[in-house]
Amino acid sequence: MKLLNFFLILFFLVTGIHSQSTDKFQMETSVATLELNDEGEILITSKAEDEAKIGLRVNELWDITLVNKHNLRKERALTDISAFRTETSPQKLRFYAKELYIDDISTTVNAEFTIEVKNDSFLFSGNISCTTGEWIIKSLDYPRLSKMEVGKENTKIYWPDGLGQLFNSPTEFGTKKSLDYPSGWGTMPWFTLNSGNYGVYVGVHNPLQHNANITLGAMDGTFDFISNIHTPIYEADYTMPEFVVKPYKGTWHHAAKYYRSWYNENFKIASSPDWVINDTGWLLAILKQQNGNVMWPYRDIDQLCDIAKKFNLTTIGLFGWAVGGHDHLYPNYLPDPLMGGEKELKDAIKRAQDRGIKIILYANGKLIDTSTDYYRYRGMETMMFGNDKKPRMDFYVKHNNKSPEIFCWACTGSGYWRKTMHDLALQANSLGADGILFDQLGVLRPELCYSTYHDHKPGHGDSKYRLQLIREIREDLKEKNSNFVVMTEASNTSVLQEIDYTHGWGKAYAPSDNAFPDLYKYTFPEFMTTQRNGNPLLTKTDANFALLYGLKYEVETRYTADVEYLLKGKTPDADSYWNVNYPPDINKMKSLTMEESAKYVHSLIDFENTHGNFLKRGKFISDEGITITGKDVIARGFTNDNDDEMGVVVWNQNETEERSFKLSVPDYKYIRADDPLNQNVRQNSLLAPNSIRFLLFKKIN
Ligand SMILES: [Zn+2]
C-alpha cells in the first residue's frame, strides 16, 4: 500500500505558482468545474452555461498578518507569495511554503493552503504555524474570491444579518457589507447568491464556531461581487476550518438546507419547553427607568397582567426590576425596597402565575456599571481589555437630562463573571420566576479580549464562553426546575444551542426594507423568538408580520407616557417623551387606540391558537413549493407534525385596498380557508386591506 502511494506521489505535479506547465489542472463537483491555469488563476465555472463564474488569483488568495510575540503592536503582513509551491493531485490543490521571510529574515512560519472537493463542494482549508513561536498569527484573510458572478441581472443576495435580508440587485445591496459572526449582525456564517435556479453558497464550517468576518462587496456598475473571509487567530499554530464555496442548482432553500445539515452533524439546537412553544408572546415592562423613575411598583404587576390579558399575551418580561432600575448599577440586581421589597415581588410573581402568566427576570450578560463596588473590587477579574490595556467601555443613555451611566464590558471568559450570572439565575428561580433573560449575549460582536485574567488566551474573542455561561446555567437550573428557561436578546447559531426563547433584536424582527426573516426561520424552524416592537401597542401590520413568520408577539412599556397610553388610553404628543432619547413610534401610537390594537392582536392570537398545529407547533417552510400571484400579497407555509398537511398564510399588505390573489401549491389539495374575523371564507375571495387568511391543504399521495 505504501509503495503504491509512493508511486502515486511521483505522478503529482509539483511546480511553482508561476509554472510553465501546459496542462490545466481541473477538479469538479456535480454542477461546477474548478480549473487552475498556468497564470496562477483559478476559475470555478458552472457546468450549465452562464450560470456562475468565480475567479480567484493564487497570489491574492490569502493574506497572513503576524504580530511579534514580544511586542504585540508590531504587526507585519506576510507577503512572501513567491515562496509558495503548488502541488496537485486528483480532486486536490495544495500551495505550501516553509520558513516564510519578512525582509530577508525568516519568521519560521510555515503555511499550507488546500482546495479540494468534498461533499460536492469546493473546500478551502490549510494550516499555519510558527515553529519558534517568535511570531503569533494575528489574522488570516482566506479565501479571497476576486470575482463572483451568479446569474448576472437575476442575482439576488441572501444575507444573514439578524433574521435575514434579501437584496434583489447589487444596487440594493450597496457597496460592501460584513457579517461579524457570531453576533446579532452575523447570525449564521454563510451567505448565498442565487439567480432563482442556480446559486453559490459561501460559508465557514467551523465546529468551534470561532469568530469569522465574511465580507461581500459589489463591483460598481456590474453584476460582479468580491468576497473575503477574515479570521482573527492569535495563535502560534492554526489549523483552518473548512471554508466552503458550493455552486448548486435550485433556489436559496438549498443553501439553507446545506448549512443546516452541516450544523446538525456538529450541534444541536436547544429544545424549548412546551410552554415556550405554546406561548403567544410577551409584554416587556420596564418597572423602573435608568433615572430612578418608578412606573410599576411590584404590586402593579397585577395591572401588567391585565394588559397582557387584554392583548392575549402569556408572558411578562420584567426589566428595570431591581434597585438600580434599567441599565443602572449592573450587575447588582437586588429587589428594590422602594418598589415594595422582595416579598411583594415574590407575591406578585405568584399571583401572575396563578392567572396563567409566565414571568421572566432581566439581567445583562455583558455590562458592568463602573459606579458599582463590583467594578471597583471585581472589575479586574471580570472586565474585557483591549490591546491598549484599557477597559472596553459602553454607554446606554436613556435620558437627555441625566449624566450618562458609564459601563465597561464583562468578559464571559472570566469564571467569576460566569458565577455572577449563575447566581442571578439562581436568584430568579428563588424569586419564583419562570426564567431569566441575559441581555446582549446574542447581540454583541465577538470582540477580542486581551485580559490575562481569563480562561482564554489574550487576543481571543469570548463567544465560546458565552455559550459555556449559558450552558452551565441552563443545565443547573433545568435540574432544579425543568420549565425554567434561559433567554437572551438576538440569536446566532452559537447561542442557539442553549437558548430556550429569544427576545427579538436586529434586522427583520420587524417589517422593514429588505427584511427576509425566512433565512433564519427556514434554516431553524424550531427557533423560538419574539418579534421586536418597541411600542406600547402593535399595529395591524406589525401583528400580521409576526403571524406570517411564526414570531411571538411583543408589546413594550418603557416610559411614563407608555404607561399613560396603556392604562388611561392617553395618546401622546411630541412633548410626552421630552427627556427620552429613544421614544416609541408616536405615529403608530396615534394611528390606533390601545383598545383597538389589543382587540386585533387578541383575535389574531386566538386565530393562531386555533391553527396551532401549523402556526405554533408546525414547521415554517417559507415559500418553498408555494406560488402566489397578485399585487401586494405574500404567502408563507407551515407543515404539520405528520407532514401530510400544509397551512398557508396569505397576507394582503395593502393597508387601504382589497386584493385578489391566486395560490398554487402543487402536490397538495385545497381543503378550506379561514380568516380571523370572517370564518368560512372562500379560497380565492378578495382579501380585506391589511388582513391575513389561513388556507389548509392536504398532501396528495
Ligand atoms: Zn476576556
Q: Taking 90 as the threshold, does the pLDDT of residue 20 lie above it? A: no
- Report the amino acid identity of residue 443: V
584 C-alpha to ligand 1 centroid (Å)? 35
What pLDDT score does 50 carry?
A: 75
375 C-alpha to ligand 1 centroid (Å)? 15
- The SS3 of residue 527 is coil
Q: Taking the CB of residue 356, how many other CB atoms lie within 10 A of it?
A: 10
Which residues, including other chains, have CB under 8 Å from residue 539's CB and lie 6 or more apart? 588, 591, 592, 597
User: Per residue in 341-395, pLDDT tens?
Assistant: 999 999 999 999 999 999 999 999 999 999 999 999 999 999 999 999 999 999 9
Phi, psi of 560 (to 5 degrees): -55, -40
259 C-alpha to ligand 1 centroid (Å)? 30
- Identical topology for domains 274-598 and 613-699: no
What pLDDT score does 23 carry?
A: 67
385 C-alpha to ligand 1 centroid (Å)? 7
318 C-alpha to ligand 1 centroid (Å)? 29
- Band of pLDDT at residue 616, cut at 50, 70 and 90: very high
- Band of pLDDT at residue 680, cut at 50, 70 and 90: low
Mean pLDDT value across residues 621-642: 97
CA–CA dist 464, 453 (Å, integer): 16
Mean pLDDT value across residues 172-195: 97
User: Per residue in 294-349, pLDDT tens?
Assistant: 999 999 999 999 999 999 999 999 999 999 999 999 999 999 999 999 999 999 99
Chain centroid, CA 219 distance in Å:
26
327 C-alpha to ligand 1 centroid (Å)? 22
502 in Cβ contact with 527 (< 8 Å): yes
CA–CA dist 258, 665 (Å, integer): 24
252 C-alpha to ligand 1 centroid (Å)? 37
CA–CA dist 552, 309 (Å, integer): 15
Mean pLDDT value across residues 150-158: 93
454 C-alpha to ligand 1 centroid (Å)? 5
Which residues, including other chains, have CB under 8 Å from residue 642's CB and lie 6 or more apart? none
Question: Which has the closest alpha carbon to 616: 638, 598, 649?
Answer: 638
Q: Is the peptide bond before 331 cis (omega within 30 degrees of 0)?
A: yes
Q: Kindly give the residue spans of alpha helices, DSSP state H, lying in 267-364.
A: 274-278, 301-311, 341-354
Kindly report the average pLDDT of the chain as a whole number: 94
465 C-alpha to ligand 1 centroid (Å)? 9
680 in Cβ contact with 661 (< 8 Å): no
136 C-alpha to ligand 1 centroid (Å)? 18
What pLDDT score does 4 carry?
A: 39
What pLDDT score does 15 carry?
A: 36
Q: Taking the CB of residue 164, how many other CB atoms lie within 10 A of it?
A: 26
Q: Taking 80 as the threshold, does the pLDDT of residue 633 lie above it? A: yes
449 C-alpha to ligand 1 centroid (Å)? 5
> Which CATH number is correct for 274-598, 3.30.2020.30, 3.40.50.410, 3.30.1330.40, 3.20.20.80?
3.20.20.80
What pLDDT score does 677 carry?
A: 81
Question: Which has the closest alpha carbon to 310: 608, 591, 606?
Answer: 606
CA–CA dist 201, 256 (Å, integer): 9
- Band of pLDDT at residue 11, cut at 50, 70 and 90: very low
CA–CA dist 407, 372 (Å, integer): 10
Task: Report DSSP state, residue 386.
Answer: -
369 C-alpha to ligand 1 centroid (Å)? 17
What pLDDT score does 13 carry?
A: 37
Q: Kindly give the residue spans of alpha helices, DSSP state H, lying in 288-402.
A: 301-311, 341-354, 373-382
User: How is residue 128 written as a grid cell?
Assistant: 499555519
CATH number given to 613-699: 2.60.40
71 C-alpha to ligand 1 centroid (Å)? 20
- Exposure of 355 in the CB half-sphere (CA atoms within 13 A): 22
282 C-alpha to ligand 1 centroid (Å)? 33
435 C-alpha to ligand 1 centroid (Å)? 26
What pLDDT score does 6 carry?
A: 36
- Report the amino acid identity of residue 625: G
467 C-alpha to ligand 1 centroid (Å)? 14
CA–CA dist 337, 696 (Å, integer): 53
Q: Taking the CB of residue 126, how many other CB atoms lie within 10 A of it?
A: 20
Q: Taking 50 as the threshold, does the pLDDT of residue 2 lie above it? A: no
CA–CA dist 387, 373 (Å, integer): 25
- Band of pLDDT at residue 18, cut at 50, 70 and 90: very low
For the chain, give every domain's residue range: 2-266, 274-598, 613-699
367 C-alpha to ligand 1 centroid (Å)? 13
CA–CA dist 51, 39 (Å, integer): 24
User: How is residue 86 written as a grid cell?
Assistant: 503548488
What pLDDT score does 49 carry?
A: 80
448 C-alpha to ligand 1 centroid (Å)? 8
CA–CA dist 16, 95 (Å, integer): 9
233 C-alpha to ligand 1 centroid (Å)? 15
Q: Which run of H or of E encompasses 263?
A: helix 252-266
500 C-alpha to ligand 1 centroid (Å)? 25
Question: Which has the closest alpha carbon to 597: 654, 552, 536?
Answer: 536
Question: Which has the closest alpha carbon to 229: 252, 253, 208, 205?
Answer: 205
What pLDDT score does 55 carry?
A: 94
- Report the amino acid identity of residue 666: P
199 C-alpha to ligand 1 centroid (Å)? 39
To the nearest 10°, report the CA torsion of 544, 545, 546, 547.
Answer: 50
Percentage of the chain modeled with pLDDT above 90: 89
452 C-alpha to ligand 1 centroid (Å)? 7
568 C-alpha to ligand 1 centroid (Å)? 47
445 C-alpha to ligand 1 centroid (Å)? 14
Q: Taking 50 as the threshold, does the pLDDT of residue 121 lie above it? A: yes
What pLDDT score does 492 carry?
A: 98
230 C-alpha to ligand 1 centroid (Å)? 21
Question: Which has the closest alpha carbon to 404: 412, 395, 413?
Answer: 395
455 C-alpha to ligand 1 centroid (Å)? 7
- Band of pLDDT at residue 602, cut at 50, 70 and 90: very high
Q: Is the peptide bond before 446 cis (omega within 30 degrees of 0)?
A: no
Task: Report DSSP state, residue 643.
Answer: S
291 C-alpha to ligand 1 centroid (Å)? 30
CA–CA dist 677, 194 (Å, integer): 39
| More confident: 4 or 117 | 117
- Exposure of 344 in the CB half-sphere (CA atoms within 13 A): 16
396 C-alpha to ligand 1 centroid (Å)? 22
User: Per residue in 45-64, pLDDT tens?
Assistant: 999 887 899 999 999 999 99
77 C-alpha to ligand 1 centroid (Å)? 26
CA–CA dist 675, 313 (Å, integer): 20
414 C-alpha to ligand 1 centroid (Å)? 6
289 C-alpha to ligand 1 centroid (Å)? 30
415 C-alpha to ligand 1 centroid (Å)? 10
User: Per residue in 484-517, pLDDT tens?
Assistant: 999 999 999 999 999 999 999 999 999 999 999 9
CA–CA dist 3, 26 (Å, integer): 26
What pLDDT score does 640 carry?
A: 97
CA–CA dist 525, 163 (Å, integer): 12
Packing angle of the helix pair 301-311, 341-354 (nearest 10 deg): 20
- Report the amino acid identity of residue 434: D
Q: What share of the chain is helix, strand, coil (3-state, %, to 5)?
A: 25, 35, 40
C-alpha distances out from residue 567 to 307, 383, 532, 540, Å: 8, 41, 22, 20
472 in Cβ contact with 440 (< 8 Å): no
439 C-alpha to ligand 1 centroid (Å)? 18
CA–CA dist 251, 638 (Å, integer): 18
Over 36-58, what HEC string results?
ECCCCEEEEEECCCCCEEEEEEH
412 C-alpha to ligand 1 centroid (Å)? 7
Mean pLDDT value across residues 267-276: 97
Q: Kindly give the residue spans of alpha helices, DSSP state H, lying in 481-619.
A: 518-523, 540-549, 560-568, 586-591, 594-610, 612-615
Mean pLDDT value across residues 200-210: 97
pTM of this structure: 0.95
Percentage of the chain modeled with pLDDT above 70: 96
Q: Taking 70 as the threshold, does the pLDDT of residue 679 lie above it? A: no
382 C-alpha to ligand 1 centroid (Å)? 7
Task: Report DSSP state, residue 577.
Answer: G
Q: Taking 50 as the threshold, does the pLDDT of residue 244 lie above it? A: yes
Phi, psi of 599 (to 5 degrees): -65, -45
419 C-alpha to ligand 1 centroid (Å)? 15
Rg for the chain, CA atoms, rounded: 27
CATH topology of domain 2-266: Beta-galactosidase; Chain A, domain 5 (2.70.98)
CA–CA dist 527, 555 (Å, integer): 20
- Band of pLDDT at residue 681, cut at 50, 70 and 90: confident
411 C-alpha to ligand 1 centroid (Å)? 5
Q: Taking the CB of residue 431, how many other CB atoms lie within 10 A of it?
A: 18
CA–CA dist 684, 320 (Å, integer): 48
What pLDDT score does 73 carry?
A: 78
461 C-alpha to ligand 1 centroid (Å)? 7
- Band of pLDDT at residue 22, cut at 50, 70 and 90: very low
Q: Taking the CB of residue 248, how many other CB atoms lie within 10 A of it?
A: 24
End-to-end Cα separation, the chain, in angstroms: 52
231 C-alpha to ligand 1 centroid (Å)? 18
Q: Taking the CB of residue 568, how many other CB atoms lie within 10 A of it?
A: 9
216 C-alpha to ligand 1 centroid (Å)? 29
CB-count burial class (<10 Å; 0-12, 13-18, 19+) for 49: exposed
User: Per residue in 533-580, pLDDT tens?
Assistant: 999 999 999 999 999 999 999 999 999 999 999 999 999 998 999 999
Q: Taking the CB of residue 278, how many other CB atoms lie within 10 A of it?
A: 13
